[in-house]
Amino acid sequence: MSITLVTGGSGLIGSAIKRLGLPNMVFLSRKDGDLTDFNQTVKLFKKHRPAKVIHLAAQVGGIGGNMIHSGEYFRNNIMININVLEAARLTGVKKLISFMSTCVFPDKCPYPLNEKDLHNGPPHPSNFGYAYAKRMLEVQSSAYNSEWGCNYIIAIPTNIYGPNDNFNFTDGHVVPSLIHKCYLAKKNNTDLVVWGSGKPLRELVLTDDIAKLALWMLDNYKESAPIIFTSGIETSIRDLVLVIAKKMGFTGKIVFDGSKPDGQFRKPSDGTKLKKYLPDFKFTPVDGGIEQTVNWFVENYPKVRK
């Protein structure tokens, strides 16, 4: 029976994969072992002897977490990736998929972002620690594939949201942070405070869509070059907060706090490669995805990751 090991299995994407209920899959979280520790990592790989790995584990956060903890995000993600890809090599893993994100692309580069431009310039300063650590994932995968014949492939999704996200105000991403804030603003009859101008644009995709694409990729993608997972549809932060307010039933005041950072203005990405492989794949529209996530949050609060 060949096992697929999912590192970061308790997170936003890991829990979406778990919801698919597929057999022979093992989901890891920090409780099973700290992947920044090489010995603990190898022990987990020797215990499970996976044939395939979906490597999700990372220190992940939104603009707040990335700007405050650039050193921690760099260190922890470099260590996790070095350990996981080395342990996979040492235990004979047949295929491993890792994840970067469209925020790792150069801040100044042609639009739409294309896989070939990944290393053509520095990332946006708001998340350079995380971005460089993630770029090293691509370097490490290529180097291992070249020297040791490993089969390491990489997906590059855009901004992902959905049930079981990290709803923490400081290091959460924009969607979960605003859902959490909106819930409390409605409950306490206070203003809903949005960071920045509301003008930046993000390509928002529902985690359950990414889960399906990750499994498709693990079984069907044979190229060594990364592939971008994008709907190609941008939503402004302003429009996003209006959708969240509507789905939450919040009718109070929405305030934009200009003292908070906007970060990258936009990061539109090229879905040509994905469309070539899956011309009929449909991403969940933002309106429906936000509705699902708001309903999940309201049903599960306060037992949510925050």
Contact residues toward ligand NAP (CB under 6 A) are 8-14, 29-31, 34-36, 56-60, 80, 99, 101, 157, 159-160, 166, 173
Other C-beta atoms closer than 10 Å to the C-beta of 125 total: 15
Task: Show the tokens assigned to 94.
Answer: 């047949």
Residue 99: which of ligand NAP, ligand GFB, none does it interact with, CB under 5 to 8 A by kind? ligand NAP
Annotated active-site residue 130? The verdict is: yes
Least Å from the CB of residue 26 to ligand NAP? 13
Q: Output DSSP code: residue 304.
A: S
Q: How far apart are CA 301 and CA 286, in angstroms?
A: 22
Nearby residues of 34 by Cβ (< 8 Å), 6 or more positions away? 40
Active site residue: 73, 111, 130, 144, which one?
A: 130
Nearby residues of 110 by Cβ (< 8 Å), 6 or more positions away? 117
Least Å from the CB of residue 20 to ligand GFB? 22
Least Å from the CB of residue 254 to ligand NAP? 23
Choose between 163 and 263: whose C-beta lies nearer to ligand GFB.
263
Residues 233-252, interacting with ligand GFB (CB under 6 A): 237
Residue nearest to ligand NAP (CB): 11
For ligand GFB, the binding residue among 7, 10, 59, 66 (CB under 6 A) is 66
Binding mask 25-54 for ligand GFB (x = CB under 6 A): ------------------------------
Q: How far apart are CA 182 and CA 278, in angstroms?
A: 36
- The angle formed by the CA atoms of residues 221, 223 and 225, to the nearest 5 degrees, is 120
Does the footprint of ligand GFB cover residue 8 (CB under 6 A)?
no
Task: Show the tokens assigned to 102.
Answer: 């469209």
Least Å from the CB of residue 61 to ligand GFB? 6
For ligand GFB, the binding residue among 103, 155, 243, 286 (CB under 6 A) is 103
Q: How far apart are CA 290 and CA 306, in angstroms?
A: 18
For ligand GFB, the binding residue among 174, 182, 204, 227 (CB under 6 A) is 174
Nearby residues of 122 by Cβ (< 8 Å), 6 or more positions away? 106, 107, 128
Other C-beta atoms closer than 10 Å to the C-beta of 305 total: 15
For 127, phi and psi rounded to 5 degrees?
A: -145, 40
Choose between 63 and 185: whose C-beta lies nearer to ligand NAP.
63
SS3 195: strand
SS3 236: strand
Q: What pairs with residue 152 in β-bridges?
A: 96
Least Å from the CB of residue 27 to ligand NAP? 8
- Residues near ligand GFB (CB under 6 A) are 62-64, 66, 101, 103, 127, 130, 159, 172-174, 177-178, 181, 194-196, 200, 202, 237, 260-264
Which residues have a catalytic role annotated? Answer: 130
